[in-house]
């Protein structure tokens, strides 16, 4: 199975400005000055091997949305702006009568405002099952499209929509996966999800603060032996402790420590701070890999930093 990151940013979409693109071009040309580039293959090789990701690419701008791809039905976590790109991908595939399962961590803007632009929701014959733990969450999704906030109300979306309220402590069989949730520390609460199928485990845990007082045991148990942990690392540890305590997010260092202690195989840092440049995010990834080797150099933790379009084999 595969996980695709459609939206990796936290809080709000991050723009890419013209001067940012110009700076990337400048750096690429500067790096090419002393290289022998004569063929198309040379160009491809130069881009892939000589340029850092912050120059050859971008971490992207879409807010929270990931896909777990395995089988006929679509499994999604969160409906941030990344959902719009996912919807366009489905439309291009030409498939009809699609069934979407959308698991909602919570209902802050950055996790819902892709839904009004999710084209498959406007198509009769498609089915969307929403899952969430928050009371009355159907109203939250409906209200964001009511006038005067949006011109097209949910009732005009022709796909069949069902809103399934989940309960903590229960395990559900959905689209071939065993699914369970966990309450997380975040303003208005958020919920993490653990998906299991064929011995593979994927944990989606975003918008979650880990304080000293947090019940670590519950988290370690929820993350235990996960093949992939998608984890909120919006802040630096110093910000999370001193400046932005109670803002509801975590850090790369806490992510590494919990992942190693829980026996996680692959940590994917997620919910990127929208004010961080691509260069800053490159540095955070390097620093995190270095910190993991200091924390426990005998543990083979794989670490990625989510970007829009990242595909991870599980
Ligand atoms: Zn968020
Ligand atoms: Zn939030």
pLDDT tens across 236-256, in order? Answer: 666 666 566 677 778 899 999
Residues 42 and 171 in one domain: no
**Splitting the chain (314 residues) into consecutive groups of 10 residues, what average pLDDT does each group show?**
97 93 97 94 96 97 97 96 98 96 98 98 98 97 95 96 98 98 95 98 96 82 98 77 70 94 98 94 94 95 98 98
Residues 202 and 248 in one domain: yes
Residues 32 and 63 in one domain: no
Number of structural domains found in the chain: 2
Residues 183 and 109 in one domain: yes
| 270: β partners | 232
Ligand 1 mean position to 28 CA, how many Å? Answer: 33
Ligand 1 mean position to 80 CA, how many Å? Answer: 9
Give me the sign of the Cα torsion angle 54, 269, 195, 135.
Answer: negative
Residues 27 and 7 in one domain: no
Ligand nearest to the CA of 134: 2
Ligand 2 mean position to 246 CA, how many Å? Answer: 11
Residues 301 and 175 in one domain: yes
For helices 252-262 and 216-223, angle between their N-to-C axes, nearest 10 degrees: 70
Range of the domain at 202: 2-16+58-313
Ligand 2 mean position to 142 CA, how many Å? Answer: 18
CB 86 within 8 A of CB 79: no
Q: Please, what is the Cα angle at 310 between 290 and 241, to 5 degrees?
A: 45
Task: Report the C-alpha gap between 215 and 217 in whole angstroms.
Answer: 5
Residues 188 and 249 in one domain: yes
Taking ligand 1, which is a single-atom ion, which protein residues have CB atoms under 5 Å away?
10, 110, 207
Q: Is 25 left (phi over 0), alpha (psi -120 to 50) or beta?
A: alpha
Ligand 2 mean position to 279 CA, how many Å? Answer: 25
Residues 96 and 194 in one domain: yes
Residues 276 and 223 in one domain: yes
Position 249 scores a pLDDT of 79
Ligand 2 mean position to 109 CA, how many Å? Answer: 8
Ligand nearest to the CA of 187: 2
Ligand nearest to the CA of 190: 2
pLDDT in tens, 159-201: 999 999 999 999 999 999 999 999 999 999 999 999 999 999 9
Residues 161 and 278 in one domain: yes
Position 215 scores a pLDDT of 82
Ligand 1 mean position to 191 CA, how many Å? Answer: 12
Ligand 2 mean position to 226 CA, how many Å? Answer: 23
Residues 114 and 188 in one domain: yes
CB 54 within 8 A of CB 277: yes
Ligand 1 mean position to 22 CA, how many Å? Answer: 29
Ligand 1 mean position to 255 CA, how many Å? Answer: 16
Ligand 2 mean position to 44 CA, how many Å? Answer: 39
How far, in Å, are 67, 186, 195, 198, 305 from residue 70 at the CA level?
A: 9, 30, 12, 11, 22
Give me the sign of the Cα torsion angle 21, 52, 314, 195.
Answer: negative
Residues 77 and 223 in one domain: yes
Position 45 scores a pLDDT of 96
Ligand 1 mean position to 108 CA, how many Å? Answer: 6
Task: Report the C-alpha gap between 111 and 7 in whole angstroms.
Answer: 10
Give the domain CATH number at 177.
Answer: 3.60.15.10
Ligand nearest to the CA of 81: 1
Convert the chain into a string of H (helix), E (strand) and C (coil): CEEEEEECECCCCCCCCHHHHHHHHHHHHHHHCCCCCCCHHHHHHHHHHHCCHHHHCCCCCCECEEEEECCCCEEEECCCCHHHHHHHHHHHHCCCCCEEEEECCCCCHHHCCCHHHCHHHHCCCCEEEEEECCCCHHHHHHHCCCCCCCCCCHHHCCCEEEEEECCCCCCEEECCEEEEEEEECCCCCEEEEEEEECCEEEEEECCCCCCCCCCHHHHHHHHCCCCEEEEECCECHHHHHHHCCCCCCCEHHHHHHHHHHHCCCEEEEECECCCCCHHHHHHHHHHHHHHHHHHCCCCCCEEEECCCCCEEEC
Give me the sign of the Cα torsion angle 115, 120, 124, 126.
Answer: negative
């Amino acid at each position: 199975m595969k996980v695709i990151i459609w939206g990796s940013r936290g809080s709000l979409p991050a723009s890419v400005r013209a001067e940012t693109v110009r700076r990337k071009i400048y750096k690429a040309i500067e790096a090419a000055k002393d290289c022998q580039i004569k063929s198309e293959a040379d160009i491809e090789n130069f881009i892939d091997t000589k340029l850092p990701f912050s120059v050859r690419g971008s971490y992207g701008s879409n807010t929270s949305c990931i896909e777990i791809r395995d089988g006929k039905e679509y499994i999604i976590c969160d409906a941030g702006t990344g959902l719009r790109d996912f919807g366009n991908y489905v439309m291009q595939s030409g498939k009809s009568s699609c069934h979407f399962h959308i698991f909602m961590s919570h209902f802050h803007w950055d996790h819902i405002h892709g839904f009004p632009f999710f084209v498959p929701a406007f198509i009769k014959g498609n089915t969307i099952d929403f899952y969430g733990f928050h009371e009355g969450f159907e109203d939250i999704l409906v209200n964001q499209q009511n006038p005067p906030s949006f011109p097209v109300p949910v009732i005009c979306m022709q796909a069949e929509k069902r809103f399934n309220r989940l309960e903590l402590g229960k395990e559900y069989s959905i689209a071939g996966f065993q699914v369970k949730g966990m309450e997380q520390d975040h303003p208005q609460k958020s919920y993490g999800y653990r998906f299991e199928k064929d011995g593979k485990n994927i944990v989606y845990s975003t918008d979650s603060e880990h304080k000293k007082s947090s019940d670590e045991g519950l988290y370690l148990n929820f993350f235990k032996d996960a093949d992939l942990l998608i984890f909120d690392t919006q802040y630096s540890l110093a910000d999370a402790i001193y400046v932005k305590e109670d803002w509801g997010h975590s850090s790369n260092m806490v992510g590494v420590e919990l992942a190693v202690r829980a026996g996680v195989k692959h940590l994917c840092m997620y919910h990127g701070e929208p004010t961080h440049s691509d260069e800053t995010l490159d540095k955070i990834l390097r620093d995190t890999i270095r910190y993991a080797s200091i924390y426990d150099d005998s543990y083979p933790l794989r670490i990625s930093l989510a970007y829009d379009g990242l595909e991870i084999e599980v």
